[in-house]
Amino acid sequence: MSTIQMTTLAILAGRWQAEADSGAGSPDRRVALRECADVLRMMCEMRFEDCPHAAPHRYCPECRVHPCPIGLDNDQKETK
């Protein structure tokens, strides 16, 4: 996940948390907003294994290395 995506998730989580804390809406909606904000914050903290051939990206969908070092290959890949 890129830094921009993580920042976007963190901003959205903050907005949802603020909306839940504002007291507006039904109690069920406030609970749902808090839970969704928690999920987004957890997603920001996830760490993914990097493909050594795709740096600085997490993995390269067009990678031709077989077998894929992080297990993303399929039958269509070729060997380099």
What mean pLDDT, rounded, does the chain reach? Answer: 78
* 3-state secondary structure at position 73: coil
- The pLDDT tens digits of the residues spanning 29-53 come to 999 999 999 999 888 877 666 666 6
Token pair in block for residue 76: 């269509």
- Write the DSSP assignment of 46-67 as a string of letters: ---PPPTTTTTSS--TT---SS
Residue 20's nearest CA partner among 40, 35, 39, 42 is: 35
pLDDT value at residue 79: 46
Name the CA radius of gyration of the chain, rounded. Answer: 19
Of residues 14 and 2, the one with the higher pLDDT is 14
